[in-house]
């Protein structure tokens, strides 16, 4: 089965765009994958299209051989854009192979070990503060955060994750200094910010109740000293985990050793080689793996390395339904799963873009049994929502 064409698509996703890769074979079997230019780097589409031209005429079943071949051409710069391009290509080829064999992708990964994948509500309250034009009801204050917790509890979710915000009398504003919004290159943490984060978590806990787990994502928004200040201020909370990112295994390990909260991290890393120093340093309680960036076959290798260090993994997932279903197959097959990220707040047209949607039952995603990923993008619907040009990052001004 030979590859005959490689095509990319993009569509409006409100504060960002969704991006998709389609690979077609001479036997009419088509594979799909998702990639990202919001959280991922701008220009990735061009990189994928460039590498895609090298795939024409190649064996669509040979995903590992093709990955190794393409990766060899990028050996001087093995991570970042090139790795994300290879990840998208790998995921589309896995979709082709599974469809041709008439099996779900998880069968290629060793078979499923669970029928349901436990999830947490990611960006709970966050999207409704940051992007109220797309996710309702709008949240302006701590009472709105509290109500989001109530909703999560009443809808049966067992865990919710939120982000950092500064609460002013005139409203709440996301704190994403690590991404330049606001511009604070020192990434310093002051008392006002600490007070806001604590108040935010208190409101969410008050609404969600004691039976709903709380997760907090600090991203890249501090340095070692600042992270420890925040974690100490949160000592009275029993958190499922605190998520934070540092490109320094020793610093992350130091933080883990000096806090009572479980530490989750590593979502921006590529391949076993980048994960290894963190695993060897015992820097995390949970390793977050992005199967969209890495490719699901490569993500399984990362998960195996984590298991060898007695670390469970959690799929990083905040893209469209296609990425969710890709991660469901990954999570279904990996033994050392902790939990999977899932955005419950969705765009009004999210479901239109695909022939099906992920199914949630009792705070878990149902593992599908259809061939491939079990979901196919609707090209007509994608074209009906043309992509926008965004001058900011993740929907936030960086000035």
Contact in structure between 159 and 215 (CB atoms under 8 Å)? yes
Predicted TM-score (pTM) above 0.85: yes
Q: What is the mean pLDDT of residues 287-313?
A: 98
Q: Is residue 133 part of a domain?
A: yes
Among the residue ranges 38-52, 84-98, 212-226, 365-379, the one predicted with the least confidence is: 38-52
**With the C-alpha atoms ordered 58, 11, 217, 44, is the resulting torsion angle positive or negative?**
positive
CA distance 233 to 216: 13
CATH number at residue 101: 3.30.390.10
- In this structure, is residue 381 part of a structural domain? no
Nearest alpha-carbon partner for 219 in 29, 396, 361: 396
CA distance 165 to 200: 7
Strands of the sheet with 17-25, listed across from one edge: 3-12, 17-25, 30-35
The verdict on 99 and 155 lying in the same domain is no
Q: Domain limits at 100?
A: 2-106
- pLDDT at residue 396 in the model: 60
Sequence-distant (≥ 6) Cβ neighbours of residue 8 within 8 angstroms? 19, 20, 21, 22, 45, 48, 49, 52
Confidence of residue 399 (pLDDT cuts 50, 70, 90): very low
Same domain assignment for residues 93 and 190: no
Residues 117, 99 share a domain: no
Q: Is residue 390 part of a domain?
A: no
Which CATH number covers residue 325?
Answer: 3.20.20.120
- Total domain count for the chain? 2
If you average pLDDT over residues 109-119, what whole number do you get? Answer: 98
pLDDT digits (tens, 9 = 90+) for 303-341: 999 999 999 999 999 999 999 999 999 999 999 999 999
CA R_g for the chain? 20
Asked if residue 315 belongs to a domain, the reply is yes
Q: Are residues 249 and 148 in the same domain?
A: yes
Q: Are residues 344 and 230 in the same domain?
A: yes
pLDDT of residue 38: 83
Answer yes or no: do 285 and 354 share one domain: yes
- For residue range 117-155, what is the model confidence (pLDDT) as tens digits? 999 999 999 999 999 999 999 999 999 999 999 999 999
Whether residue 357 sits in one domain with residue 224? yes
Residue 391: its pLDDT value, please?
A: 75
């Amino acid at each position: 089965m030979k590859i005959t064409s490689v095509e990319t698509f993009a569509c409006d996703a409100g504060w960002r765009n969704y991006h998709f890769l389609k690979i077609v074979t001479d036997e009419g079997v088509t594979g799909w994958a998702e990639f990202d230019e919001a959280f991922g780097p701008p220009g990735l589409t061009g990189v994928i299209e460039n590498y895609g031209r090298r795939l024409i005429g190649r064996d669509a079943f040979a995903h590992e051989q093709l990955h190794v071949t393409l990766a060899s051409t990028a050996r001087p710069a093995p991570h970042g854009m090139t790795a994300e391009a290879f990840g998208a290509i790998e995921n589309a080829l896995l979709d082709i192979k599974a469809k041709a064999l008439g099996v779900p992708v998880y069968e290629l990964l060793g078979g499923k070990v669970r029928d349901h994948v436990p999830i947490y509500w990611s960006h709970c309250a966050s999207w409704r503060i940051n992007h109220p034009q797309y996710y309702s009801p709008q949240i302006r204050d701590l009472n709105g955060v509290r109500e989001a917790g109530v909703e999560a509890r009443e809808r049966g979710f067992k865990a919710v994750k939120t982000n950092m915000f500064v609460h002013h009398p005139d409203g709440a504003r996301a704190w994403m200094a690590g991404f330049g919004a606001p511009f604070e290159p020192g990434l310093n943490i002051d008392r006002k910010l600490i007070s806001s984060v604590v108040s935010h978590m208190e409101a969410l806990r008050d609404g969600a109740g004691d039976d709903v787990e709380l997760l907090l994502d600090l991203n890249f928004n501090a340095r070692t000293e600042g992270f420890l200040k925040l974690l100490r201020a949160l000592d009275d909370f029993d958190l499922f985990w605190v998520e934070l990112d540092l490109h320094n295994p020793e610093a992350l390990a130091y933080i883990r050793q000096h806090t009572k909260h479980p530490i989750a991290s590593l979502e921006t890393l590529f391949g076993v080689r980048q994960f290894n120093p963190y695993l060897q340093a015992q820097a995390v309680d949970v390793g977050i793996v992005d199967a969209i960036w890495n490719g699901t076959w490569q993500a399984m290798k990362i998960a195996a390395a984590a298991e060898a260090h007695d670390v469970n993994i959690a799929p990083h997932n905040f893209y469209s339904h296609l990425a969710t279903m890709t991660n469901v197959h990954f999570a279904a097959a990996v033994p050392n799963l902790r939990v999977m990220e899932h955005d419950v707040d969705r765009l009004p047209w999210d479901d239109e873009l695909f022939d099906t949607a992920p199914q949630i039952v009792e705070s878990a995603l149902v593992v599908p049994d259809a061939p491939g990923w079990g979901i196919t993008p609707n090209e007509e619907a994608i074209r009906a929502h043309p992509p926008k040009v965004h001058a900011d990052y993740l929907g936030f001004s960086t000035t």
